[in-house]
Chain A
Amino acid sequence: MVIFLQNLVNALQWGSFYALIALGYSMVYSILMLFNFAHGDIFMVGSYIGFGVSMALIALASSGVLAMPNWLILVLTILFSMFLTSFVGMIVERVGYRPLRDAPRASAAITGLMIGIILETGNLALLGARRVSFPSLIETMTYDMGGVFVTNKKIMIVLVSLLLSFALHQFVRRTRWGMAMRAMAFDFAVVPLMGVPVNTMAALTFALGSALAAAAGILFGVAYPVLDPYMGILFGWKAFVAAILGGRGSVLGATLAGFLLGFTEIFVAMIFPSTLRDLIAYSIILLILTFRPHGFFGEPYSARLRL
């Protein structure tokens, strides 16, 4: 039981990252019918931007110019980095995808892969192959709850990711922008005729997705403080699986699928030898998709409309 609960906690943390990254995939995919394969690398860039911002804020705080506690630095780092990374997302959209909007989907997907490589190697050229150590902004507190160990960082990560998912959900459901996004997901061809600025909406979609990826990147840095330029690749693939599993156009679905993916990975490793973890975990996911090809909350008819 203790082992189960401990792994539940582990899976909640691990799933949080998948959920946040999957949201970005899911939004772009549902609104623009586009696989943004560079998204995992935007996550990486967000993490590095977070590193830069936090180092700058720490320097600012320690020099006495602007004294602030560490938790405030962390909050500011998350906000600033989300803001800055959203521009990275918008640039990627403007440079990489907009010119190809009417091109075959395969071209756009390949563009995404290329942008990913550019971001990775660009980072490598800029900072070198040395691993970067993310500053530990908050002291790790480990709580022993009857044999189940929970840290303050784990709690924070899960809460922040749930909060951001919820905020995005509200944004999509309650605002005019959100309504426009849903409309675009429903029918990309007709929506511009209704006076919706498609280019602005596409940029907004990328900005939101990238901001969430940046948040994931910083939380990742807090939990796993070793950053390297290629850290986003595998994460990107797996979060993409979560996005598909969640169903096109569903914020709730992507979040749930992200957590489900984390749970599957952690619990498969709990039951089976860890060498077989991904083999078994992704076979299970494949099986689920076989029976629910549109994911949990996918809407098959809208996909049919688009195609």
Chain B
Amino acid sequence: MRKGSLFGVCVLVVSLAFSPSGWVQAQTIKIGINAELTGDIPKVGEGTKFAAQMWLEDMKAAGGLAVGGKKYPVELVIEDNESKAESAVKAATKMITEDGVLVIVGPQASKQAVPAGGIANNYKTPMISPWSTNPDTTKNRPYVFRACFLDPFQGPVLANFITAEFKFTKAAVLYDVASDYPKGLAEFFKKAWEGLHGPGSVVAYESFTTKDTDFSSQLTKINNSGAQVLFTPQYYNEVALIVQQAHQLGWKKPIVGSDSWGSAETVTLCGKDCYGLFFSTHYAAAGATGATKAFIDRYKAKYGYVPDDVAALTWDSLLIVQKAIQDTGGLAGDLKKDRESVRVAMSQIKKFKGITGEMTFTGTGDPIKCAVIVRISDAGQFEFYKSACP
């Protein structure tokens, strides 16, 4: 009796120890969702969760994820990172080591995504952050990806857009020399513009310092420089002042901005002066077409509000994950090998058509993708105008 039970335990232990973990994995594909469900930015976590659940519905409706002619059921492991760096690390570690996820989606904010990316990279598990724009998230981390563009990227995108849209050859730039984001973007724009139109084609490169409110001298210079367009990568409070003063000084040409314009405050502060202007951003809900519109409508019908850029980027991230898994051509059943093959497949995704634009990965974690150009409509809404590519 005692012998028998001991034998039974032995069999159980041995069978557990030897049963290939991949055997279980082959049955279900687990995707980790590392989301900011509580803490400072719960709305971000909510959008992440809702988009992920919509994707899961699709998978279930299709009867699972087809990889190499075989259908695998999909499971989501959703963990709350409390909008804290240390909790994001904990959640990532748990998903990788305990839950055995194949891929992690999230965290969203760079504060969480940078440390969590380190964990994913150490454990050689692919991770994609939909929303983190900080270069450090993916820097020197072959296993970490993102679905959005990096800040400096908007410079060339806007230079191309202005050239193609208006056929302009002379641009002016006005930026805050004391702030990293505008300064960096101004430099990247200048470089890209001069690459397109030759040295000296940025006819006015004017700056001010944070807290300045009067730009009349700089704008007078710009007005008389022969510039055809003004680029100003500023935050919403300065945008209002710059645009209004430019108009009061007789500037009637286009003014173009970057994703820092994308706050509802921009229109509140700027008013009618900002109507009809353009800026680049990740995604625009108003005036969307095709798959983007389908996603927005579905999300809105299900959850009662228009999804923000986080939800849209999360959706795209999951589709990238799906495509990468499918591109492997078949799962080996060994988690370590499969994670590696998903990483390789993801880093080679070409011309992926996402709802936030077309993305191509060239071996690094940062996609080459198109930005969305938004036009501020005559009703003061951010309207999709076109997508612009570098």
Number of B residues with CB within 8 Å of any CB on chain A: 29
B221 CB contact (under 8 Å) in A140, A149, A151, A270? A270
Q: Which residues of B contact A275 (CB under 8 A)?
A: 177, 207
B211 and A226 form a contact (CB under 8 A): no
Residue B244 lies at the interface, judged by CB distance under 8 Å to chain A: yes
Return the chain A residue nearest B238 by Cβ.
Answer: A226
Complex alpha-carbon distance, A151 and B224, angstroms: 18
Residue-wise, chain B 196-224 has the 8 Å CB interface mask toward A (1 for contact) of: 00000000001111010110111011011
Contact A224 B241 (CB under 8 A): yes
Q: Write out, one digit per residue, whether chain A residues 288-300 have a CB within 8 A of any chain B CB (1) or not (0).
A: 0000000000000
Q: Is the CB of A266 within 8 A of B250?
A: no
Residues of B within 8 A of A234 (CB): 211
| B269 near A231: Cβ-Cβ < 8 Å | no
A170 at the interface (CB under 8 A from B): no
Asked whether, in the complex, the Cβ of B250 is within 8 Å of the Cβ of A133, the reply is: no
B:219-242 near A, CB below 8 Å: 220-221, 223-224, 236-237, 240-241
Given the contacts A131-B265, A228-B237, A7 and B248 also touching, CB distance less than 8 Å:
no
- Given A133-B268, A225-B269, A275-B207, the answer on whether A265 and B217 have CB atoms closer than 8 Å is yes
CB of A220 to closest CB in B, whole Å: 8
Interface string of A79-117 (1 = CB under 8 A from B): 000000000000000000000000000000000000000
Q: Does A142 have its Cβ within 8 Å of any Cβ on chain B?
A: yes
Is B247 in contact with chain A by the CB < 8 A criterion? Answer: yes
Is A2's beta carbon under 8 Å from chain B?
yes
Contact call B248/A133, Cβ cutoff below 8 A? no
Residue B68 at the A interface, CB < 8 A? no
Say whether B63 faces chain A, with CB atoms less than 8 Å apart: no
From A149, A226, A231, B248 is in contact (CB under 8 Å) with A149
B20 within 8 Å of A by Cβ?
no
Contact pick for A266, options B216, B247, B248, CB 8 Å: B216
Chain A residue with the shortest CB-CB distance to B178? A275
Q: Which of A131, A149, A267, A273 meets B249, CB within 8 Å?
A: A149
User: How many Å lie between the Cα of A136 and that of B119 in the bound state?
Assistant: 52
Q: Is the CB of A14 within 8 A of B220?
A: no
Query: Is B195 interfacial (CB 8 A cutoff)?
Result: no
Kindly state whether residue A65 has any CB partner on chain B within 8 Å.
no
Chain A contacts for B245, CB-based, 8 A: 224
CA distance in complex: A272, B206 (Å): 10
- The minimal Cβ–Cβ distance linking B260 to chain A, given in whole angstroms, is 14
Instruction: Check if A231 sits within 8 Å of B249, measured CB to CB.
Output: no
Task: Contact check, B237 vs A149: say whether CB atoms are below 8 A apart.
Answer: no
Min CB–CB distance A280 → chain B (angstroms): 12
Within 8 A of B (CB), among A257-307: 265-267, 269-270, 273-275, 277-278
Contacts of B237 in A (CB 8 A): 131, 226, 228
Asked whether, in the complex, the Cβ of B250 is within 8 Å of the Cβ of A10, the reply is: no
- Inter-chain contacts of A14 with B (CB < 8 A): 214, 216
B209 to chain A: closest residue by CB: A278
A121 touches B (CB below 8 Å): no
Partner of B216, one of A13, A130, A136, A220: A13
Additional pairs, 11, CB under 8 Å, beyond known A140-B244, A228-B237, A275-B177: A2-B224, A6-B224, A13-B216, A131-B236, A144-B250, A149-B250, A226-B237, A226-B269, A230-B211, A273-B207, A277-B208
Interface residues of B (CB under 8 A from A): 177, 206-209, 211, 213-214, 216-218, 220-221, 223-224, 236-237, 240-241, 244-245, 247-250, 265, 268-269, 271
List of 8 A-B pairs having minimum Cβ-Cβ separation, nearest first: A10-B216, A269-B217, A149-B250, A224-B213, A266-B217, A274-B206, A131-B237, A275-B207
Residue contacts A-B, CB under 8 angstroms, 5 given: A6-B224, A10-B249, A225-B241, A225-B269, A228-B237
